[in-house]
A and B are shown apart, each in its own frame.
Chain A
């Protein structure tokens, strides 16, 4: 494994300083699972890890806590996936996020992996993850997925690189209109979808945090009465596997009519994929099998599969129908 130095700041300001001083070869570390993978596999990796777990006091506590405030739920970036999956606070309207957290990886990895790390992990594309192979993310001039084995790659929004976004928590979080809080030169917040950078803008990165900035919290706004959500993922194996496709849905019903809808598809595009057009068609309608089938058609209409991943189009339609039915409480036809 590549060697590195380990810095242990006691405050976010000290962490920021260490990250700025060490830029661009310093990285903040939560559980460090993906960073460790990069260090062991000979992939581009930092020289200095800035440990966030030693941050003390109330800030330290809030980084690993889930608290309900006036503006909604604040989830600390160091919360583990196990914590999120088991948290009673993430029930009801927030259920999609807990469901996604509880299905990711394995129990022992969920005991370690953090919310912040899940959102900011690098893509799992096998061309990126092989140190010998060319990749736009590693400064190469070619995305091998185009002519190679692209069974797990993008069917929506790809180009010039065709990886899919790896975060299973980003999918439900975006459906729940999440924001992120960032500690930097001045603290700032932004909608989660603005945090992410797609390959057309810059294939070398997936987020727009500046050096020294640390993602500290995910904020889920308080939903209105009647809000509910659901998550559904398809995998080749029942556990310990990345999703082939996933869907998260947030709905608000009023007297049996849909008043608000958010649909986000995961593992189909380089970004968590918001299906805005399909959402719009749901509003003002009453849940029905036909409506949800049409919605799924519409959401996948722009799909452009590659040579080996056409199966993802019907798979994503199916995942979305599952999520829509579960969120609305309408039974899925056999």
Chain B
């Protein structure tokens, strides 16, 4: 099986890893780098459970060839804590905990990555409609989404308030 040596940055770390040329980024993350937060759900772009960020934009790791991520900046749910500034929980993760926004949790990593990109792109508290649009490709079969929307709107307000306080 032809393999390739790939150099990429994942969650701020340089990685050099050999993998078959036909592997997807999702397979590389899960089966070479042991980053199993990104989930292999439908594996065909329907469910969004594998959503990661490449250069800050949410994409589907199951539809991205590993080779395409070379020299790019990949962020997975495992890197989300670092994006909050301090080590540990990202405000989104904290909000999901407080709002009970996860049940089985399978969709949560993908939803967090879509939501983080939305909040960062808009740079202000987000509305429920904006969250609905941004999560159009992330399926959740447990929650009915209500708590997820609550948590994301709440997190965006807290992130905004913290930013205001820091710059005051």
Question: Smallest distance from the beta carbon of A125 to chain B beta carbons, Å?
Answer: 16
Q: Counting chain A CB atoms within 10 Å of each CB, which of B1, B2, B22, B60 scores highest?
A: B22
Question: Is A208 in contact with chain B by the CB < 8 A criterion?
Answer: no
Task: Determine if B114 and A108 form an interchain contact, defined as CB atoms under 8 angstroms apart.
Answer: yes
Query: Contacting B48 at CB < 8 Å: which of A33, A51, A108, A111?
Result: A108
Interface stretch (choices A1-9, A197-205, A305-313, A317-325): A1-9
Q: Could you say which interface size class chain B belongs to?
A: 20 to 34
User: What per-residue 1/0 map shows which CB atoms of B46-74 lie under 8 Å from chain A?
Assistant: 10100100000111100111011000000
Task: Decide if B63 touches A53 in the complex (CB within 8 Å).
Answer: no
Cβ of A39 within 8 Å of any chain B Cβ, yes or no, is: yes
Instruction: Return chain A residues, CB-CB under 8 Å to B22.
Output: 1-4, 6, 39
**Residues of B close to A107: CB separation below 8 A:** 58, 114, 133-134, 136-137
Structural contact, B60 and A108, CB atoms closer than 8 A: yes
- A residues less than 8 Å from B136 (CB atoms): 106-107, 238-240
Contact between B21 and A5, CB atoms less than 8 A apart: yes
Known: A112-B60, A240-B136. Is A33-B45 also a contact (CB below 8 A)?
A: yes
Q: B58 and A3: CB pair below 8 A? A: no
Residues of chain B within 8 A (CB-CB) of A109 are 45, 60, 63, 137
The answer to whether the Cβ of B44 comes within 8 Å of any Cβ in the partner chain is yes
Contact of B63 with A106 in the complex, beta carbons under 8 Å:
no
Cα distance A108–B121 in the bound complex, in angstroms: 14
Interface string of A17-31 (1 = CB under 8 A from B): 000000000000001
Chain B interface residues toward A at CB < 8 A: 1-2, 4, 20-22, 24, 43-46, 48, 51, 57-60, 63-65, 67-68, 114, 133-134, 136-137
Q: A111-B59, A112-B63 are in contact. List 17 more A-B contacts (CB 8 A).
A: A4-B22, A5-B2, A6-B21, A6-B67, A39-B22, A51-B67, A82-B57, A106-B137, A107-B58, A107-B133, A107-B136, A109-B137, A238-B136, A239-B133, A239-B137, A240-B46, A240-B137
The residues of A with any CB-CB pair to B shorter than 8 Å are 1-6, 31-33, 36-37, 39-41, 51, 53, 82, 105-109, 111-112, 238-240
Q: Which 5 A-B pairs have the closest CB atoms?
A: A106-B137, A239-B136, A108-B58, A106-B136, A111-B57
